[in-house]
Copies of this chain bind each other. A is one copy, B any other.
Amino acid sequence: MAGMGLGLAAAAMPAMAATPGRKIGYAIVGLGSYATRQIMPNFASCEHSRIAALVSGTPEKLERYGAEYGVPKTHRYDYKSFDRIRDNPDIDAVYIILPNSMHAEYTIRAAQAGKHVMCEKPMAVSVAECEAMIAACRKAGRKLMIGYRSRFEPHNRLAIDLARSGFVGPTRVITAEHGFPIRPDQWRLDRPLSGGGSLMDIGIYSLNATRYLTGEEPVEVMAMESTDRSDPRFKTVEDRIDFLLRFPSGVTATCVSSYSSAHNQYRVIGTEGWIDMEPGTPYEGHRMRIRKDGQVADRAPPPMAKNQFAGQLDHLAEAVLTGSPIIVPGEEGLADLRVIEAIYRSAREGRAVKIAA
């Protein structure tokens, strides 16, 4: 099918012939809920990735997960001993799943220790940090990838292909909403750790979707924040922040980011119909509906051998093993942070903010 190759080609690209059997060893940095419940179990279905080491400040976690995943005591680190990963040749890469404000420091220390880096989103809490991370990895000659898992998920890949190939006509509008009612007592609600509220955590999915669905960078943003500061959850970070984006082609996007209501959806509206994803970026259970010629129908993408988590892990591994390009490198995380900073500035100053190319 014409125009269908964009995302799938990238998935099929790496030829593994040069490195039969070898698996990239990851050190998991941070043993919180996302690491232990979503990422670590999925190594079992990876072709090219394995858990080589664990890093945590909590000895009980190192003991528990070390035993569970067969990681020997010699391959367990805390944050004081972290830099000694340099001396462990079993570790090829680190996966940083720490609070946002620690991403830059540990990415840079990992690169300086000679390791490749997978870093969770948001890449960091500022553009300046992102730039420093990219520079550190470049200087060390190490790869840097951001954990944008949806790019390895078949519904999202198909949505990208259909949107960019004009399957429902040229895109005119994108709507994207992400949010959930957050529970109190999380580091995500503590600005020094999170760098911001819903936008940094969940609204970034709305933003990132508009960018991967258009393949363009927004040039202007307008944003409006609404936060009840008497809600104990929102003493230091925002609850809701809605934003409008303008893209060079004339496409506009309306986006929702919320920590007090549940949203997980995007829709690409072209001149002849739309592509709707709800839920759009969950861990599992994606649903795509397409409206074309006045008819709405479900559409299922071709299945992929690996789920999005394993696909993401193996993508960096393949890049390390074969030199294949990373589709979500540090520059991708930086591009989101550039817009995020503009969104916050627009909300703060009550004006449209232009984003330099």
Q: Which residues of A contact B (CB under 8 A)?
A: 172-173, 175, 177, 179, 181, 220, 222-224, 226, 228, 240, 242-244, 246, 250-256, 258, 260-263, 269-271, 273-274, 291, 350-352
Bound-complex Cα distance A224 to B253 (A): 10
Closest approach, in angstroms, between the C-beta of A89 and any C-beta of chain B? 47
Closest approach, in angstroms, between the C-beta of A160 and any C-beta of chain B? 19
Question: Which secondary structure dominates where chain A touches chain B?
Answer: strand
Bound-complex Cα distance A261 to B172 (A): 7
Closest approach, in angstroms, between the C-beta of A315 and any C-beta of chain B? 32
Chain B residues with Cβ below 8 Å from A226 are 246, 250-252
| Nearest B residue to A241, CB-CB | B252
Known: A175-B175, A177-B175, A252-B226. A262 touches B240 (CB 8 A): no
Bound-complex Cα distance A222 to B253 (A): 13
Known: A240-B173, A244-B222. A181 touches B263 (CB 8 A): no
13 contacts between A and B (CB under 8 A): A172-B258, A172-B261, A173-B179, A222-B244, A223-B244, A224-B252, A224-B352, A226-B250, A226-B251, A242-B254, A261-B274, A262-B269, A350-B352
Closest approach, in angstroms, between the C-beta of A36 and any C-beta of chain B? 24
Bound-complex Cα distance A294 to B352 (A): 37
Known: A220-B224, A262-B273, A350-B352. A172 touches B240 (CB 8 A): yes
Contact B252 A254 (CB under 8 A): no
User: How many copies of this chain?
Assistant: 2
Bound-complex Cα distance A352 to B246 (A): 16
Closest approach, in angstroms, between the C-beta of A255 and any C-beta of chain B? 7
Among B228, B244, B263, B291, which residue has its beta carbon within 8 angstroms of that of A244? B244
Bound-complex Cα distance A258 to B253 (A): 12
Chain B residues with Cβ below 8 Å from A252 are 224, 226, 240, 242
| Nearest B residue to A350, CB-CB | B352
Among B173, B223, B228, B258, which residue has its beta carbon within 8 angstroms of that of A258? B173
Contact B173 A256 (CB under 8 A): yes
Bound-complex Cα distance A216 to B179 (A): 23
| Nearest B residue to A263, CB-CB | B269
Chain B residues with Cβ below 8 Å from A256 are 173, 175, 254
Bound-complex Cα distance A320 to B148 (A): 61
Contact A260 B224 (CB under 8 A): no
Bound-complex Cα distance A252 to B263 (A): 14
